[in-house]
Structure 1
Amino acid sequence: YGDIEGVTEPEVTITIRTPGEYINKIMTLVYDHEGEVTSTTSGDSGQLTVTATMPLRELMRGFFSELKQASSGFASLSYEVTGYAPADVVKLDVLVAKEEVPALTEIVSKENLQKRARAVVENLKELLPQQIVSVRIQARAEGDIIAAETLAATRKNVTEGLYGGDYSRKKKQLKNQREGKKQMKEDMSVQIPSDVYVDMLQK
């Protein structure tokens, strides 16, 4: 294996048509997705046409749904793959309970790496159902963990039904629970529901 001399990625030219009142939000959205505006022209009835270039990966990362939200559904989008452009990117891996989840791996620009890593772990924490034990969610790039969140465990009162002064039984129950959770945490493999994968594609 030789050294990698450089990386290129597909680039698209997008055309957005929108009422003028949404132009500021749309411009911000384009820049947030690593886009570069090449022209803005005005047409009939206050309509504006924005032309920009951006990486195809950013277009696929929920850009259309965000555009609809930013324009209250009034903006339209068309795009064309126009070639390849140099890319300063890195692979972002996601680990759930120390296990890598290949389906959630992304290619991210180094410029936005920290921001995207933080968003990924926060979104996944929000979407994953709680487990019996706490679950560590991590984002890794170039061998380093760069963002992490912990999904809290579901709560269960194991001393429910133990009344009065039976302190020793309560203490034993709590100890057994702690030991059981510790063992489960070491052996666990989190099953990620299919709808979580779909929702993560839109985040």
Structure 2
Amino acid sequence: MYAPPEHRPAPVLLQPLTPPALPPGNPAGMRWLAELHADPQSCLDAWTAGRLAGIPLGRFEVLRVSASIGYAILQNGPRTAPVLHTVALGTTDFFLIPGSMPAHNSVGMLQQTGVLPCPAPGRALPRRRTLPLPGEHVSPEDLAPTWLVKPDGSGDLWHGEQVLAATHSAYAYFDSLSHHESTPAPAQPGAPRPEAAAQFIAASRRAS
């Protein structure tokens, strides 16, 4: 039946579907990290709620080293692959290409299985900025890690040989400082600061 224009129902405008909003931070890095989980949405939900998301190892491995060694590695190598830091534990976690690092090495502890708790890339901040004193109570919130190098969505991972080379380069530099009574010449750009030498050498020898 014909209806005059003034009596015709107004057309219904369909709103385009939009994907669920990601929490503030680094969207590309979040999507890449979440896709490493069997249920990516559960990771995004955890990050939106301000919680850690457990990312299973397998498509990447983790090399856990002391904070001083981790600092030296970052000073002597590129900063393109993810690195986590837990202030309360004094540890640094490097995301590695699977199979690229020997299980028995002089740098740190290699983790090939299990789950790694991760904050939202580009969002979380360290819960504390100092190491706990002996006997001091450490809460679960204190143990939450933060990103030194957050995932950028490219999928880049550290190669084990790259980490070893950066560590050996830093150790050689630090060791040269410990054998000179006078102030050494300024290091090349990107070299570790001299004041980190004592910490690095002590940590390296404990790890070896």
Does TM, normalized by the shorter one, top 0.5? Answer: no
TM-score range, shorter chain: under 0.3
* Larger RCO: 1 or 2 (CA < 8 Å, sep 6+): 2
Q: Which has the higher helix share?
A: 1
What is the TM-score of this pair, normalised by structure 2? 0.22
